[in-house]
Amino acid sequence: MKVFNFILIGRSGSGKGTQAELLEKHFKNLFYISSGDLFRDLIKQDTDTAKRIKKILKKGGLPFDELAIALWMHKIAYNVKENQGFILDGAPRRIDEAKTLDRFLDFLERKERTFFLLIDVSREEAFNRLLKRRVCSICGRVIPAMGKFKNLKICDRCGGRIITRPDDTPEAINKRLDYYEKNVIEVVRFYQRDNRLIRINGQQSIEDVFKEILEKIEPKIRNYL
């Protein structure tokens, strides 16, 4: 059985997490790796690294670059079965990380069956969404300010209280969006040059974004079956 892997790229606020969940439901044999959850788990640990990361995240900063890719590879190595694909919500932030990830995918013989989906939203749209979005105070689930989520009062995953994220201030949001502009866009271009980038219009309803994803990947999947 052929398995497919998905890597979701996009600005903070692009709706990557929501689309990742929809993909997970749709394909069934996918192991879902959320970068946000990985970091939330990490900072609960009583380690030097965890404490430092916690401090940085509190200030709205971004943790040490290579850590994300190390955590992904660790998670995949320890969890993903032979007949299982994975979905990664969060992309490499730098080209050298993208190359490391490529070597790992090569090693797994999955490079050809990994789709890089760019959920494309403008900076302005991302900014406005991030200002309005909320998170669960218990599990950290991001509650988008759209569709059926808009009026959610308690978390639909764990029942926790929904709050505004303390680091979703205009300054911190701009910092995160600046980082994308300066770093991640290079990675996007890297995949584009390689003809591997699948661009999805993220400025539609959640359902329409997902529809576009399926329309664009289904012909590619058929090629492998």
Contact flag: residue 61 with Zn ion (CB under 5 A): no
155 forms part of the interface with Zn ion (CB under 5 A): yes
| Stretch of residues binding Zn ion (CB under 5 A), selected from 33-41, 111-119, 130-138, 178-186 | 130-138
Residue 163 within binding range of Zn ion, rule CB under 5 A: no
How many Å is the Cα radius of gyration of the chain? 17
Residue from the set 51, 58, 103, 157 that interacts with Zn ion by CB under 5 A: 157
Residue number, 152 or 221, with CB nearest to Zn ion: 152
Separation CA 67–CA 214 (nearest Å): 31
* Residues 190-219: x where in contact with Zn ion by CB under 5 A, - otherwise, as a string: ------------------------------
Is the CA virtual torsion 215, 146, 116, 224 positive or negative?
negative
How many CB atoms within 10 Å of residue 176?
A: 20
Residue selected from 50, 62, 138, 172 as contacting Zn ion according to rule CB under 5 A: 138
- What angle (nearest 5°) sits at the alpha carbon of residue 82, between those of residues 74 and 90? 40
Residue 143 as a binder of Zn ion (CB under 5 A): the answer is no
DSSP labels for 129-150? HHHH-EEETTT--EE-SSGGGT
Tell me if 134 contacts Zn ion by CB under 5 A.
no
Token pair 């300010």 is found at 145
Q: Could you list the residues that contact Zn ion (CB under 5 A)?
A: 136, 138-139, 141, 155, 157-158, 160
